């Protein structure tokens, strides 16, 4: 499946299902949302590469909501779709940073072309930071205040990463012991 994640937000459920099916057939990882309610949490969780947003979603205005979504994923372009064809609506949408404004009824092929053109990969960080420490996930090198501390062993790296992923939580002895699977481990370890 294509790594491009598309969030499609439109209150027309029939259109949503049609567009979602077409985008998935094209290989996009597509999530459909029929309401603007909860859209911010969906954007936070999904981290889409592109957002396709209807202008009128029930009682809500997608153009007014767009800046809030852009704060969560500033690099994700927004493509507006709407049956409102007045130029002041198009201008208003483009003023919020939208890359295009497609007028309904939309052509699926055109939408796909715009998604391919504007979707940008969302970079995942290869460094995790905690206080004055940084761990480079690609090299397993631990730094403190930008100075090399050491290159972690595979086991040290897996343990530190596990603890980081569960920061603020208690990690059980059994969960930590899973890292030692296939090796001899004493109670002291």
User: Where are the extended beta strands (E) located within the chain?
Assistant: 5-9, 29-33, 50-54, 56-57, 60-61, 78-82, 100-103, 127-130, 133-136, 141-144, 147-151
Q: What is the pLDDT of residue 3?
A: 78
Q: In this structure, are residues 112 and 8 in contact, taking their beta carbons and an 8 Å threshold?
A: no
For the whole prediction, is pTM greater than 0.75? no
Least Cα distance to 53 among 40, 26, 44 occurs for 40
End-to-end C-alpha distance for the chain, whole angstroms = 41
β-strand pairing of 29-33 with 5-9:
parallel
- pLDDT, averaged per 10 consecutive residues of the chain (189 residues), comes to 84 95 94 92 92 93 93 91 93 92 95 90 69 83 83 88 86 85 65
H/E stretch holding 44: helix 39-46
Rounded CA gap, 120 and 4, in Å? 8
**Does the bond joining 150 to the residue before it have cis omega, within 30 degrees of 0?**
no
Spatial separation of the C-alpha atoms in residues 1 and 49, rounded to whole Å: 14
């Amino acid at each position: 499946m294509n790594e491009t994640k598309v969030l499609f937000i439109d209150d027309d459920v029939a259109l949503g299902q049609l567009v979602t099916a077409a985008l998935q057939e094209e290989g996009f990882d597509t999530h459909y949302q029929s309401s603007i309610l909860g859209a911010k949490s969906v954007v936070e969780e999904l981290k889409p590469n592109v957002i396709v947003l209807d202008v009128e979603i029930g009682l809500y205005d997608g153009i007014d909501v767009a800046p809030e979504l852009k704060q969560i994923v500033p690099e994700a372009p927004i493509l507006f779709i709407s049956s409102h064809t007045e130029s002041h609506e198009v201008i208003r949408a483009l003023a919020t940073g939208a890359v295009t404004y497609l007028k309904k009824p939309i052509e699926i092929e055109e939408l796909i072309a715009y998604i391919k053109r504007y979707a940008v990969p969302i970079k995942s960080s290869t460094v995790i930071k905690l206080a004055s420490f940084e761990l480079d996930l690609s090299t397993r090198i631990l730094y403190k205040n930008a100075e090399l501390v050491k290159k972690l062993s595979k086991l040290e790296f897996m343990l530190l990463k596990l603890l980081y992923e569960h920061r603020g939580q208690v990690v059980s002895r059994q969960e930590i012991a899973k890292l030692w699977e296939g090796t001899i481990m004493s109670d002291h370890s």
